[in-house]
Amino acid sequence: MDNKKSVLDLVKQYVNETAPINATEKEKKKMIDAQVILLLRV
Amino acid sequence: MKKQEKEKKYMVSQKALKKTLEERKTRFITTSNLQEPDRVPILSQINAYAIGFCNKTAWDVFEDPDLERECYRKANEAFYFDGLSIFGLNHPFKSYFDVGSETYLVSENGVTIQHKESSHMDADEYDEFIADPIPFIANKTAARKIPAFDKDYPENYEALKKLFNSIKDFKQNGAENRKYVLEEMGIPIISSRSAPHPLDNFFDFIRGFNGTLIDIRRHPDKVEKAIEVLTPYYEKSIPSSKEDAFPWLFSTCHIPTFLSKSQFERLYWPYMRRCLMAANDAQTKYMALLEGTWEQHFDLFEDIPKGAFIACIENDDIIKAKKRFGDRMTLAGGMPMSMLKYTSKQECIDYVKRIFDACAPGGGFIFTTSIPPLTTEDLNVDTYRAVNEFAHEYGKY
């Protein structure tokens, strides 16, 4: 993944763009974890 | 017909549908409380079979939710059922294929969707996984199995965004399907949500069939630790406060049939028991598909609270299980899929009669197939129709 964002970075970017505006960092972390777990089944 | 008359007719049919829905729900609730309902409830496990039943392919329904709904409705209404285990595809498979994933495949018959054995973690990577599973799953497991993520940025991000958005749409479609089944078909779906076991997911999606089973034998401590660190991400599926008594919490148990009694007791039973007890505390129930043979693990079921567990039996002897656990748990099953394909209508009916005579008394019994039918070749339609019609009549208490 040289010169590329890691998959975790991509998930973080997605959560940052789609999370409710007032979501706390802790809530965002939970959302990131949940999205990563979703990737398991893909 | 005048508008007013049409509306009146619609209201009458809606009222009748609601009544039928309540009767069917009551059948499941009563039997799972180990009491005799008016009839033995009959459960559908129809999944991708519905697609073949309507002479369509998986590819036809992947991008047409209306067609998917039509297929599942037609197939489920072709036989007598009181409840459904699922209605619609259980994954947004097309979205998975679009990012290059090979986790699933559509069989040559164009209907059956299969899970493909694969491993996305090496035997020497346990320490890294255990140190922090989330970066590992994202940057190793997902990166290895999803080729679209290996593209340059922002192409890879666009692929990820499209994938997540399609999963969101898929969940929304699932919710709409659920509403449709209740309101338009008058039939309940027996589970509200799924509680997958972390070890099953590790087995299915991370280390694979061979890898996990070898590791359990060579270094069980590492596997145990990996499951321990994975568990917190699955706990949100476990009820934490009072829930509706019905529908139930549901789990499909994949790995236990391959485990010895001691392996099961150490690596699987603690979390499974936790789900079961949490469902019981929340005043609902835990239903599990016991894939394969489980008799080797049955001793552990002795201390399950009365009425807390609904076990779907695949290969175990349901009559034997009823004799042992009939006073404390509900058993679902009774119709081996192979009989619906290879034996005569009368032989099947005689078999069902024997099963009902042994399993229906006292309640705690749901009639269903041993496994879900996956293709039209799995069963003879006339036989299955006759079996369920007979079961509906003979199952009257």
Segment B19-46, tens digit of pLDDT = 999 999 999 999 999 999 999 999 999 9
User: How much is the CA Rg of chain A, to the nearest whole Å?
Assistant: 11
Q: Which of A13, A19, A17 is nearest to A31 (CA)?
A: A19
The neighbouring-strand residues paired with B114 are B105
- Three-state secondary-structure class, residue B183: helix
Q: What is the pLDDT of residue A1?
A: 46
**Per-residue tokens: B389:** 């019609």
Closest chain A residue by Cα to residue B202: A40
Residue listed under structure tokens 């309902």: B37
Q: What is the pLDDT of residue B385?
A: 98
Whether B135 contacts chain A with CB within 8 A: yes
Contacts of B89 (CB under 8 A, 6+ apart): B47, B48, B61, B62, B68, B113
Show the beta-strand stretches assigned E in chain B.
43-44, 83-84, 104-106, 113-115, 191-194, 248-253, 286-290, 309-313, 330-335, 365-369
Q: Closest partner residue to A5 among B141, B153, B206, by Cβ?
A: B153
pTM: 0.95
Q: What is the pLDDT confidence band of residue B11, given thresholds at 50, 70 and 90?
A: confident
Contacts of B350 (CB under 8 A, 6+ apart): none
Closest CA–CA distance from residue B215 to any residue of chain A (Å): 20
- Please say whether the dihedral angle defined by the alpha carbons of residues B292, B295, B297 and B303, taken in this order, is positive or negative: positive
Residue-wise pLDDT tens digits, B178-193: 999 999 999 999 998 8
Yes or no: say if B30 and B37 are a contact pair by the CB < 8 Å rule.
yes
Q: What is the pLDDT of residue B9?
A: 80
Cβ contact B156–A40 (<8 Å): no
A interface test, pick of B91, B94, B128, B139 with most A CB neighbours within 10 Å: B139
Closest CA–CA distance from residue A14 to any residue of chain B (Å): 7
Contacts of B371 (CB under 8 A, 6+ apart): B45, B314, B337
Q: Which of B276, B250, B287, B265 is nearest to B364 (CA)?
A: B287
Cβ contact A40–B134 (<8 Å): no
Tell me: pLDDT of B283 over 60. yes
Contacts of B207 (CB under 8 A, 6+ apart): B119, B120, B121, B215
Q: Which of B255, B248, B321 is nearest to B286 (CA)?
A: B248
Tell me: pLDDT of B162 over 50. yes
Residue-wise pLDDT tens digits, A2-16: 457 999 999 999 999
Q: What is the 3-state secondary structure (H, E, C) of B190-238?
A: CEEEECCCHHHHHHHHHCHHHHHHHHHHHCHHHHHHHHHHHHHHCHHHC
What DSSP designation does B397 have?
-
Yes or no: say if B254 and B294 are a contact pair by the CB < 8 Å rule.
no
For chain B, positions 147-206, list CB contacts with chain A under 8 A: 149-150, 152-153, 156-157, 160-161, 163-164, 167, 201, 205-206
Cβ contact A10–B139 (<8 Å): no
Q: What is the pLDDT of residue B79?
A: 98
**Per-residue tokens: A26:** 């802790």
Whether B79 contacts chain A with CB within 8 A: no
Tell me: pLDDT of B372 over 80. yes
Dist CA B279 CA B283 (whole Å) = 6
Residue listed under structure tokens 């779906």: B189
Yes or no: say if B198 and B31 are a contact pair by the CB < 8 Å rule.
no
Yes or no: say if B111 and B58 are a contact pair by the CB < 8 Å rule.
yes
Yes or no: say if B271 and B198 are a contact pair by the CB < 8 Å rule.
yes
Q: Closest partner residue to B142 among A5, A18, A39, by Cβ?
A: A39
Give the other-Cβ count within 10 Å of B375's Cβ: 16
What is the DSSP pairing of strand B330-335 with strand B191-194? unpaired
Q: What is the pLDDT of residue B63?
A: 85
Residue-wise pLDDT tens digits, B303-345: 999 999 999 999 999 999 999 999 999 999 999 999 999 999 9
Give the other-Cβ count within 10 Å of B357's Cβ: 11
Question: Under an 8 Å CB criterion, which residues of A touch B?
Answer: 1, 3-8, 10-11, 13-14, 18, 32-42
% of chain B residues with pLDDT over 90 = 94
What DSSP designation does B310 have?
E
- Three-state secondary-structure class, residue B134: helix
